[in-house]
């Protein structure tokens, strides 16, 4: 069930004891190879090689001699690929957004492993059985073209205006994690499935069409090809370094306050991972103090560990961006259970 909003500051109080779990996966021969394969949702790797993944993978390879093989796509796309390969597992580590990390778990794609440092990750940001843990905290958001839209949009209802005809686009629910987040946010803000679908049906008149990848939308907004798109704070904040017209905002229902919800990049060790030991080492590395300190400074995100207090310029700017925005919590297990029905309702309402 969707729950009521609460201030972002309250999230900092989320505490839980960590359970250290280990599990074996993959053959010993495969594990001897100096390689680890990562399937990940997009957003953490920089277009110019300047993202958090770029720095973390480079440091990991230098320190361990283990080569990182990287495969990127939408959150749902990565889970579907891992599921298709279940009989011949290729990935060692899966990184994806909720509710797709829960979906991966429900499909039996993950094995229990609590990385070093995961005891410092809040209880809401990791599985109680050690199947996954957040490595970068993040929040849902929208982007707009700052040059063309002054002031920035504030409400869902504004996007129905005729001036947004063919100027709005959001990534596909059920395929992209951020696209699914649009659906979840609408369900929350409009108070249920029926009113949310009624709104998204009306919005379709201005919507350009589907996109399997959210990261491809921000450049279109920056260039003015479209004026508004969905996204998430970490990815869009990082993109804004090279996209001067990109602004982040949080849609509210008419008369309401801007709200958002946590949308962390959650990582898990793949069941029967061919290089399971290397996967464990990479998960430990991503949650290490150095990598976590670089989440904001390099990646434009929020550290997953509570004991890592970022004070860099990006961290200060991110705190300012989130000021006054209420964060509501979600029952991700319930969303995972009902996701197919929600996506089917969206397809029916929008003719997608």
| Residues 310-352: tens digit of each pLDDT | 999 999 999 999 999 999 999 998 999 999 999 999 999 999 9
CA distance linking residue 197 with residue 52, whole number of Å: 36
pLDDT beneath 50: ranges in the chain: 1-29
Backbone angles phi, psi at 313, to 5 degrees: -60, -40
What end-to-end distance do the CA atoms of the chain give, in Å? 25
Which pLDDT value is given to residue 103? Answer: 95
d(CA 259, CA 257): 6
Closest CA to 235 of 308, 138, 319, 94: 138
Query: Which residue blocks in the chain are alpha helix, DSSP H?
Result: 28-31, 52-64, 75-84, 100-106, 177-190, 193-203, 217-223, 233-239, 276-286, 289-297, 313-322, 332-350
What local confidence, expressed as pLDDT, does residue 47 receive? 83
How high is the pLDDT of residue 2? 45
User: What b/e string do you get for 270-294 counting C-beta neighbours within 10 Å, with b at 16 or more?
Assistant: bbbbbbbbbbbbbbbbbbbeebbbb
- Predicted pLDDT at 213: 87
């Amino acid at each position: 069930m969707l729950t009521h909003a609460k201030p972002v500051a309250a999230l900092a109080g989320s505490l839980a004891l960590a359970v250290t779990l280990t599990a074996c996966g993959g053959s010993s021969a495969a594990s001897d190879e100096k390689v680890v394969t990562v399937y990940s949702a997009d957003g953490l790797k920089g277009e110019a090689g300047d993202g958090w993944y770029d720095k973390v993978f480079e440091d990991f390879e230098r320190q361990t001699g283990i080569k990182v093989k990287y495969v990127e796509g939408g959150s749902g796309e990565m889970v579907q690929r891992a599921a298709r390969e279940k009989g011949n597992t290729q990935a060692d580590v899966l990184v994806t957004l909720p509710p797709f990390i829960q979906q991966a778990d429900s499909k039996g794609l993950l094995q229990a492993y609590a990385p070093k440092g995961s005891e410092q990750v809040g209880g809401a940001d990791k599985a109680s059985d050690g199947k996954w843990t957040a490595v970068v905290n993040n929040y849902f958001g929208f982007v707009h073209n700052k040059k063309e839209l002054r002031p920035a949009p504030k409400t869902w209802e504004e996007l129905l205006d005729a001036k947004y005809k063919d100027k709005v686009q959001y990534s596909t629910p059920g395929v992209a994690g951020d696209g699914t987040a649009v659906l979840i946010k609408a369900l929350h803000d409009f108070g249920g499935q029926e009113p949310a679908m009624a709104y998204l049906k009306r919005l379709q008149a201005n919507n350009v069409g589907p996109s399997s990848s959210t990261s491809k939308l921000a450049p279109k907004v920056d260039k003015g090809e479209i004026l508004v798109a969905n996204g998430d704070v970490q990815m869009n904040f990082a993109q804004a370094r090279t996209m001067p017209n990109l602004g982040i905002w949080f849609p509210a229902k008419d008369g309401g306050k801007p709200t958002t919800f946590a949308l962390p990049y959650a990582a898990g060790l793949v069941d029967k991972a061919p290089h399971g030991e290397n996967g464990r080492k990479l998960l430990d590395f991503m949650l290490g103090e150095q990598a976590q300190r670089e989440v904001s400074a390099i990646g434009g995100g929020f550290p997953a560990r509570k004991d890592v207090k970022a004070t860099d310029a990006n961290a200060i700017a991110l705190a300012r961006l989130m000021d006054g925005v209420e964060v509501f919590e979600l029952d991700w297990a319930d969303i995972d259970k009902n996701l197919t029905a929600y996506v089917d309702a969206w397809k029916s309402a929008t003719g997608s």
